[in-house]
Amino acid sequence: DAKTTQPPSMDCAEGRAANLPCNHSTISGNEYVYWYRQIHSQGPQYIIHGLKNNETNEMASLIITEDRKSSTLILPHATLRDTAVYYCIVRGANAGKSTFGDGTTLTVKP
């Protein structure tokens, strides 16, 4: 599976959009990009995933560049409860072997 690179930390003002970047320059054609978040020490929670096209659900939007080498997770109206560690992972055919990096700690400030 391809490795990912994320900034260690980011801040965002409450009510504003949070844009979290992820680089995955070695991604291959059949690998998906997944985003999870971990609040405090709870188990990670799935947010969204995509292959090529941009995706949107009730939690967030995922923008994947045309060359698929990077992506951005967008939380449109961040709240204090969105403060968490956000993980971007790339997952291929072997679904069980998903490796996590250190993620981005997002702090939403009032």
Partner 1 sequence: NAGVTQTPKFQVLKTGQSMTLQCAQDMNHEYMSWYRQDPGMGLRLIHYSVGAGITDQGEVPNGYNVSRSTTEDFPLRLLSAAPSQTSVYFCASSYLRDREAFFGQGTRLTVV
| Residue numbers at the binding site for partner 1 (CB under 8 A) | 32, 34, 36, 41-46, 49, 51, 85, 87, 91-103
* CB nearer partner 1, residue 42 or residue 53: 42
Q: How far is the CB of 99 from partner 1 (least distance, A)?
A: 6
* CB nearer partner 1, residue 29 or residue 95: 95
* CB nearer partner 1, residue 14 or residue 92: 92
Q: How far is the CB of 60 from partner 1 (least distance, A)?
A: 13
Q: How far is the CB of 36 from partner 1 (least distance, A)?
A: 8
DSSP state at residue 5: B
Residue 4 to residue 102: CA distance in whole angstroms: 10
* CB nearer partner 1, residue 66 or residue 93: 93
Give the sign of the dihedral formed by CA 21, CA 76, CA 44, CA 50. negative
How much of the chain is in helix, strand and coil states, percent to nearest 5?
Answer: 5, 45, 50
3-state secondary structure of 93: coil
Q: How far is the CB of 58 from partner 1 (least distance, A)?
A: 14
* Interacting residues of 56 by C-beta distance below 8 A, sequence separation 6+: 48, 62
